[in-house]
Amino acid sequence: MLLLTIIQILQVLLNVVWWVIIIQFVLSLLVAFNVVNMQSNFVRSLYQGLDRLTEPMYRPLRRILPQLQGIDLAPAVVLIGIAILTIVLNNIAASVMIGSI
């Protein structure tokens, strides 16, 4: 049961990271198209906070991925990695459940 608890905690953490990346992506689009104003302290601090959370995940990928005329593929790669990890964790949890019956 301890292994299932750890798997569930990891799944929750991956879900939180997923949503942080999505929110950061949407906010960056809103800033790029001047829908929200970066002069607002709240928007600026939210943008900088999300950037500080996601940049350590993106930095190694940006060194490897090709530059595509301003298109950043790092968030997409991280989201794909999170999806793959979620599938792996689900399969591990299923195999643990089958083994414990």
Structurally, the chain folds into a number of domains equal to 1
As a whole number of angstroms, the distance between CA 72 and CA 1 comes to: 40
- Across the chain, mean pLDDT equals 93
Nearest to 29 by CA among 90, 80, 70: 70
pLDDT of residue 101: 54
What is the token pair recorded at 44?
A: 């600026």
Q: Is the pLDDT of residue 46 over 70?
A: yes
For 81, the domain range is 2-100
pLDDT of residue 18: 98
